[in-house]
Structures are given as structure tokens and as C-alpha cells.
Amino acid sequence: MLNKFGPSGLGEAQVQYLDGDFRVTSPGTYVKCAVTGVQIPLDELKYWSVDLKEAYASPTAVLQRHYPNAAKA
């Protein structure tokens, strides 16, 4: 991870999502999943969209965001 802040930042971090990595622009300990609203600790953040500038808690959340009608079929 680039520029990960230590535990001095409490609350939600502001993150710039990059290809294959992310940069913390405002310290915090977590980001929220754009689909579920679940708090994702920064050290567990694995899924995000560079284009949409948002994080996801799981592969299922990624699919729900990009293919919202697939679950209804």
C-alpha cells in the first residue's frame, strides 16, 4: 500500500483509488463499501473501482455494483 497512515487517524479515511494500489489522502482506519455500507479496514481493502472511485467489501459487492440486474435474472 502507498502512504498508509498509522493508527493516528481514527474514523473514515479518504482514499485515492489507483490501478493496483491506493493512496490515503486523509488519515483514517477504514473506508465504506459503496454497495453494502460495511466498514472495510484499510489493511483489508482488496476491491475498488478506479473509474467509479469507490471501495467494495467483497467480490459479490463488485458484481452487484457492475451487474445490478444479474441477481434478478
How sure is the predictor about 1, in pLDDT bands with cuts at 50, 70 and 90?
Answer: very low
Cα–Cα distances (Å) from 7 to 30, 34, 36, 55, 56, in that order, read: 11, 23, 24, 20, 22
E strand or H helix that includes residue 19: none
Strand locations in the chain, DSSP E?
Answer: 14-18, 21-26, 30-32, 39-41, 47-49, 54-56
Q: Which pLDDT score is estimated for 3? A: 47
Q: What pLDDT digit, counting tens, does each position of 24-49 carry?
A: 999 999 999 999 999 999 999 999 99
Q: Which tops the pLDDT comparison, 30 or 69?
A: 30
Taking the C-alpha atoms of residue 61 and residue 56, their distance in angstroms, rounded to an integer, is: 6
Residue 6 has pLDDT above 90, yes or no: no
For the chain, the domains span: 14-66
Backbone CA torsion sign across 36, 73, 46, 22: negative
Mean pLDDT of 9-16: 91
In the numeric block, which cell numbers belong to residue 35? Answer: 454497495
